[in-house]
Amino acid sequence: MFGSVFAQVEPVKNLVLRTTLGIDYSMVKDKDIEPAFTNGFIARSVNNLSIYNSDFTSVTWSNTAQYQLNLDKSKFNFLFGIEAVSDNFQDFRGYKEGFSTQTEDFFVLSAGTSNGNSFGTATSSRLFSQFGKIDYNYDERFLASLTLRRDGSSRFGADNRYGFFPAATFGWRLSQESFMADMEKLSNLKFRAGVGRVGNQDVGDFASLGLFEPRYGAVASQVDGIFHNDFFDDYWNVGSAYALDGQDSGNLPSGFVSVQAGNPALRWETTDELNLGIDFGFFDSQLVGAFDWYTRKTTDILIQPPVASALGEGQLQFLNGATKKNTGWEFALSYRKQVNSDFSYEVAGSASHFADKITELPEEVRTAYPGNSEQTVLGHSELSIFGYVADGIFKSQSEVDAHASQVGAAAGRIRWADLNDDGEINSLDQKFLGTLLPKLEYSMRVDMNYKDFDLSIFGSGVAGKTGYDPYTFYNDFIRGRDNVGPGVFDAWTSQNPDSNVPALTLSDSNNETRTSSYLNVNASYFKLRNVQLGYSLPSNVTERIHMDKLRFYVMAENLFWIKTNEFQGPDPERTDVNAIPIPRTFSVGVNVSF
């Protein structure tokens, strides 16, 4: 349920006072019954019931005062306000086994006879904001805006709850100036500039606090979202006590365990941005376009870096860590032409580039980013891939003997490059292989209309992207319990020594599925995403059948794509191991309006 109510009053001319109360409420009720059954040699001897209920409520209360002031060619709009947001979430899980009757109505928790357990959590957060904004418009030529915000979040330490976030924008319609009047071919020219700061509070509700969990020796645990009896769990006792002499028996006593260290100094993550842009149009807006350049600096990045288990429990902690700089640009251009009364077309294209690099890296968050003891992510993208360089396949034992010392090396195994020339392959022989961010994103669209026919073609792609290829893994490596791809038929053997696929083995002593250039390849691509051909009945026909429009069309989606030879998978846009390739779809349809 989502909605809001408001009240508004205008006590004096041009002054509007408004109060708004909004609510966002969601409820989940899930009941999972697993009955006992026997089907041939497959059976479940004990039935069970899992219950999951959750409630989320978000209440927003905002109050604003808005005043408009007009002074000849100058127009001002003032806005001041406060806003409070309250978020609350709680859930419950229950589990029971041993139901004597297998009907849905009988499956309630109290009817179960064994292994009952329940779990529940609750969390909440608060946000309080104060803000003011001034908009200025001079003769529709100069446009400016100034915003000041002060936001306070319960997720941060008491001394750093509030952050200050100013912003300003400026626009200038040069095409409206008198000195541009002689440029008849120029139909629009506008300069834009913006500078400001935004904050990020996207961390856990209790990120700044030290957290403890109760642990009870008799409690069942949850694995993969399913409740299990202790006997079947991988870790079947999470009790916090331990009898050193081994004499005690039965359930261990209750206790608490530290799961997060507090950080009262935790504060807002902030991003400062400068944006410069220009909009232009020529030939009575037949040719229009826009170009934007921006730079961003993000400081105090919120992160929870991993810690060594040897440091003990309760050492995980949210921190303000690295600093990152982003730069990029976006360009869009389109041209439309009415050739004659029967034929018109429009061609549009866009391109953009985005790059980031870590500029500061405190030692306490270094483990959260790619790198090793000698190389850090400093100067590289946050989304960099760091790994080993595959240098072909060992063709013979003589090549193994001539290479650096490598654990698992043998004829038919992947040869890892000795990048530091120390004669040994280890963790120091890694490098930054690329980044998940493409160097260029681009798209193109063509629309044509001839009499009552219309044709639309759209495609887009990326260039300069490195990505994981799951099909290289499935195609080139054999596993004991899974089917494999046809690449294994070309695997290295003594009779096939020139193969680029490693020899088949169920014992990967060479660790060939490690992060490396063998599995992370050029993932650039272009996709023809949509082609649509339509025909609309003439207006004199639709009028006779009392319709405004009747259009028939055929459409093809993901018609074809182009990818690099390095990427073996069918769809380089879907690099997740479990992702299903986007299907090629053909459809026909009718658009009707009255």
Residues 30-56 pLDDT 10s: 999 999 999 988 889 999 999 999 999
Query: CA 558, CA 523: separation in Å to the nearest integer?
Result: 17
Query: CA 523, CA 391: separation in Å to the nearest integer?
Result: 20
pLDDT at 477 exceeding the cut of 50: yes
pLDDT at 158: 84
Q: What is the mean pLDDT of residues 560-577?
A: 84
In 224-312, DSSP assigns E strands to: 226-227, 255-260, 269-282, 287-299, 302-303
At 253, the pLDDT band (50, 70, 90 cuts) reads low
Residue 561 lies in a domain: yes
Residue 396 lies in a domain: yes
Residue 325 lies in a domain: no
Percent of the chain with pLDDT over 70: 92
**End-to-end alpha carbon distance in the chain:** 32
Q: What is the mean pLDDT of residues 131-154?
A: 95
Provide the residue range defining the domain that includes 482. 383-593
Q: Residues 6 or more apart from 77 whose CB is under 8 A from it?
A: 66, 67, 68, 69, 133, 134, 135, 136
At 108, the pLDDT band (50, 70, 90 cuts) reads very high
Q: What is the mean pLDDT of residues 287-306?
A: 95
pLDDT at 132: 97
Residue 439 lies in a domain: yes
Percent of the chain with pLDDT over 90: 71
Lowest mean pLDDT among 52-66, 150-164, 479-493: 479-493
Q: What is the mean pLDDT of residues 528-534?
A: 96
Strand 42-44, strand 319-320: pairing = unpaired
Q: Which residue is associated with the tokens 């976006």? A: 330
Residue 243 lies in a domain: no
pLDDT at 219: 47
At 179, the pLDDT band (50, 70, 90 cuts) reads confident
In 423-543, DSSP assigns E strands to: 431-435, 440-450, 453-463, 466-468, 520-522, 525-536
Q: Residues 6 or more apart from 575 whose CB is under 8 A from it?
A: 467, 468, 469, 470, 523, 569
Residue 41 lies in a domain: no
Report CA-CA distances (Å) from 436 to 349, 352, 477.
23, 15, 24
Q: How many domains does the chain have?
A: 1
Average pLDDT, the chain: 89
pLDDT at 547 exceeding the cut of 50: yes
Task: Please answer whether residues 406 and 536 qualify as being in contact, where contact means their C-beta atoms are separated by less than 8 angstroms.
Answer: no
pLDDT at 291: 97
At 562, the pLDDT band (50, 70, 90 cuts) reads very high
Residue 374 lies in a domain: no
Q: What residues pair up with 560 in beta bridges, in sequence order? A: 528
Task: Please answer whether residues 421 and 403 qualify as being in contact, where contact means their C-beta atoms are separated by less than 8 angstroms.
Answer: no
Residue 185 lies in a domain: no
pLDDT at 453: 95
Task: Please answer whether residues 127 and 85 qualify as being in contact, where contact means their C-beta atoms are separated by less than 8 angstroms.
Answer: yes
3-state secondary structure of 430: coil
Whole-structure pTM value? 0.80
Q: DSSP letters along 457-486, please?
A: EEEEEEES-EEE-HHHHHHH---SSS---G
At 227, the pLDDT band (50, 70, 90 cuts) reads very low
pLDDT at 503: 95
At 482, the pLDDT band (50, 70, 90 cuts) reads confident
